[in-house]
Amino acid sequence: MREDALRRLAARPPGDLLLPTALGNALRAGELTAGERYGLTTLPSWPRIYLQVSDRMAEVLSSARDALDTAVNLCWSLLTLTVISAAALYDEPTRWWLCGTGLLLAAVAYKGAVTTAQGYSGLMHVAYDLHRFDLLEALHLPLPTDGESEEEIFSEVSDLFAGVRREGRAYEHPDARRGGGSQPTQR
């Protein structure tokens, strides 16, 4: 029970960044921690790293996102149906159980959406774990040699995505004339 409580707390964003809904918090937790563990700001880097993921990973991410969208749409549909049913059955007290059932089903769909969002956030973490260096290669930047240089280069990449350019970073472009070796150039 204690491990479950710790897992749930770890899946929440910090207190000053909490959102009013569990679904928002589940998505925010992934947005704030997936890339930040490596020095990348997740929101600006996510569209770029998503294009670097393998076909299999893209399929899994797409499937998880479709499941999330479906669960959220089902929740809203059930809530809308409940409101319409309540309006239509306001003078039929023997049928109010239908509204209660609709509300219960909407709550179950919402819980499913939160669980699916937590899974999607976990997949975002996996995408950064497996493909962050592919992003550097696509940007023609050298790979880091250790954890400290990794955080430094990803911090610079995050600044680049935010429109802040730092001088002195060497690009590595394959030299086609010499059989694919790399040749550093300054920016």
User: Distance (Å, rounded) from C-alpha 11 to C-alpha 125?
Assistant: 12
Nearest to 77 by CA among 40, 103, 97: 103
Q: Is residue 55 part of a domain?
A: yes
Q: Tell me the mean pLDDT in the region 139-143.
A: 88
pLDDT score at 112? 94
pLDDT score at 26? 87
More confident of the two residues 182 and 69:
69
Residue 22 has pLDDT above 50, yes or no: yes
Number of structural domains in the chain: 1
Residue 39 has pLDDT above 70, yes or no: yes
**Token pair 């240089």 is at which residue?**
149
Q: Is residue 4 part of a domain?
A: no
Q: Which residues contact 187 (CB under 8 A, 6 or more apart)?
A: 165, 167, 168, 169, 170, 171
Residue 177 has pLDDT above 50, yes or no: no
* Triad 136, 141, 144: Cα angle to 5°: 75
Torsion of CA 177, 165, 124, 24, to 10 degrees: -160
Cα 122 from chain centroid (whole Å): 8
Residue 110 has pLDDT above 90, yes or no: yes
Q: Is residue 168 part of a domain?
A: yes
Contact by Cβ (8 Å): 158, 128: no
Q: Is residue 104 part of a domain?
A: yes
pLDDT band for position 7 (50/70/90)? low
For all residues of the chain together, what is the average pLDDT?
84
Give the structural domain span for 31: 21-186
